[in-house]
Amino acid sequence: MSAMTDSAKQAAVGGCSGTVGGSLASSGVIDGAIRTIVSEVSSRRAMITDVRGPIDGLKEEYAALMARAAAVRGRGLLYPYIGSGIGHGALVELADGSVKWDMICGIGVHFFGHSDPLLVEASLRGSIGDTLKQGNLQSSMEPHAFSEVLLAEAGKGSGLRHAYLSTSGCMANENALKVCFQKHAPARRVLAFKDCFMGRSLMMASIGDSHEGRVGLPIVADVDYMPFYDEVLAERMGPARFIDLSLMHLEQYVHRYPGQHACFIFELVQGEGGFNTGRREYFKALMESCKSHGIAVWDDEIQTFGRLPRMFAYEHYNLGEYVDVLCVGKMTQVCATLFTEAYNPRPGLLSGTFVGEGVSFEVGRRVIERLRDGDYYGENGRIERHHAAFRREVKSLASRHPGWFPEVAGVADVAAGVGGMMRFTPLGGKKEKIQAACKAIFEAGVVLFYCGHGPYHLRMLPPLGVMKEEDWPRVFACIEAGLAKVAP
Ligand SMILES: Cc1ncc(COP(=O)(O)O)c(C=O)c1O
List Cα–Cα distances, 424 to 29, 381, 434, in angstroms.
50, 22, 10
Whether 358 and 364 have beta carbons less than 8 Å apart is answered as: no
Positions in the chain short of pLDDT 70 = 1-14
pLDDT of residue 1: 43
Smallest CA-to-CA distance from 53 within 20, 94, 82 is with 94
Residue 405 maps to a domain: yes
Domain count, the chain: 3
End-of-domain residue from the set 331, 355, 373: 373
What's the CATH number where 480 sits? 3.90.1150.10
Ligand 1 test: best mutation among 197, 202, 307, most atoms within 8 Å of CB? 197
| Statement to judge: residues 79 and 149 lie in one domain | no
Beta carbon of 173 within 6 Å of any ligand 1 atom: yes
Verify that 216 and 354 share a domain, yes or no: yes
* Probe residue for ligand 1, chosen from 173, 228, 298, 303 as the CB with the greatest number of ligand atoms within 8 Å: 303
Establish whether residue 328 lines the binding site of ligand 1, counting it when its CB lies within 6 angstroms of any ligand atom. Answer: no
Residues 184 and 322 in one domain: yes
Specify if 1 maps to a domain: no
Ligand 1 atom closest to Cα of residue 267: 1
CB 302 less than 6 A from any atom of ligand 1: yes
User: What distance in Å separates the CA atoms of residue 388 and residue 415, rounded to the nearest whole number?
Assistant: 10
- Atom of ligand 1 at shortest range from CA of 330: 10
Identify whether residues 248 and 159 lie together within a single domain: yes
The SS3 assignment for 250 reads helix
Check pocket membership of 271 for ligand 1, CB cut-off 6 A. Answer: yes
Residue 149 lies in a domain: yes
Does the beta carbon of 196 sit less than 6 angstroms from any atom of ligand 1? no
d(CA 328, CA 313): 11
Q: Show which of 326, 348, 373 is a domain's final residue.
A: 373
Residue 330 shares a structural domain with residue 431: no
- Identify whether residues 320 and 460 lie together within a single domain: no
Q: Which long-range contacts (CB under 8 A, 24 or more apart) does 160-163 make?
A: 160/323, 160/326, 160/338, 160/339, 160/340, 161/338, 161/339, 161/340, 161/341, 161/344, 162/338, 162/339, 162/341, 162/344, 163/336, 163/337, 163/338
Atom of ligand 1 lying closest to residue 200 CA: 11
Pinpoint the alpha helices (H) of 20-168: 20-25, 28-45, 59-73, 105-108, 117-126, 142-154
| CA-to-CA dists, residue 317 to 19, 269, 272, 326, angstroms | 46, 10, 20, 15
The rounded radius of gyration (Å) of the Cα atoms in the chain is 23
Ligand 1 touching residue 208 (CB < 6 A):
no
Burial of residue 459, with CB atoms counted within 10 A of its CB: 0-12 exposed, 13-18 middle, 19 or more buried: buried
Whole-number Å distance between alpha carbons of 417 and 18: 51
274 lines ligand 1 (CB under 6 A): no
392 and 324 in one domain? no
Q: Is 166 part of any domain?
A: yes
CB contact at 8 A, 250 and 191: yes
What pLDDT was estimated at residue 257?
98
Closest approach atom of ligand 1 to CA 108: 14
Cα 198 to ligand 1 centroid, rounded to whole Å: 5
Q: Do 75 and 207 sit in the same domain of this protein?
A: no
Is residue 197 within 6 Å of ligand 1 at its C-beta?
yes
Same domain, 368 and 396: no
* Residue pair 298/144 in contact by the 8 Å Cβ criterion: no
Determine the structural domain holding residue 336 and report its residue range: 133-373
Can you tell me which atom of ligand 1 is nearest the CA of 170? 11
What is the three-class DSSP state of 15? Answer: coil
pLDDT of residue 2: 46
Ligand 1 near 329 CB (within 6 A):
yes
Determine the distance separating the centroid of ligand 1 and the alpha carbon of 273, expressed in angstroms.
11
Run of H or E residues at 93: strand 91-94
Whole-number Å distance, alpha carbon 116 to ligand 1 midpoint, is: 24
Determine the Cα–Cα distance for residues 422 and 459; give it in Å rounded to an integer: 6
Top mutation candidate among 325, 330, 333, 360 for ligand 1, by most atoms within 8 Å of CB: 330
* Ligand 1 within 6 A of CB of 305: no
- Residue 275 and residue 143 share a domain: yes
Under 8 Å between Cβ of 286 and 321:
no
Task: Please check whether residues 147 and 193 belong to one and the same domain.
Answer: yes
Protein residue whose Cα sits closest to atom 13 of ligand 1: 199
| Cis preceding-peptide flag for 455 (omega within 30 of 0) | yes
CA dihedral 199, 200, 205, 207 (to 10 degrees): -20
Give the pLDDT confidence score for residue 488 in this predicted structure.
Answer: 85
* CATH number of the CATH domain containing 322: 3.40.640.10
342 with 221, same domain: the answer is yes
Give yes or no for residue 175 CB within 6 A of ligand 1.
no
> What's the gap in Å between 107 CA and the centre of ligand 1?
9
365: Cα within 13 Å, side-chain hemisphere: 25
Residue 242 lies in a domain: yes
Three-state DSSP at 221 gives coil
Burial 173-205 (b: 16+ CB within 10 A, else e): bbbbbbbbbebbeebebbbbbebbbbbebebbb
- The number of residues making up the chain comes to 488
Determine the pLDDT at residue 460.
Answer: 98
Burial of 255 (0-12, 13-18, 19+ CB in 10 A): exposed
* Domain boundary pick from 126, 142, 169: 126
Peptide bond into 186 cis (omega under 30): yes
Residue 17 lies in a domain: yes
CB hemisphere CA count around 264 (13 angstroms):
28
Atom 7 (ligand 1) nearest CA: 169
- Candidates 332, 301, 313, 281; CA nearest to 418 is 313
Q: How far is the CA of 199 from the centre of ligand 1 (A)?
A: 5
Task: Yes or no: say if 438 and 457 are a contact pair by the CB < 8 Å rule.
Answer: no
Q: What is the pLDDT of residue 17?
A: 84
Q: What is the pLDDT of residues 144-189, one digit of tens each?
A: 999 999 999 999 999 999 999 999 999 999 999 999 999 999 999 9
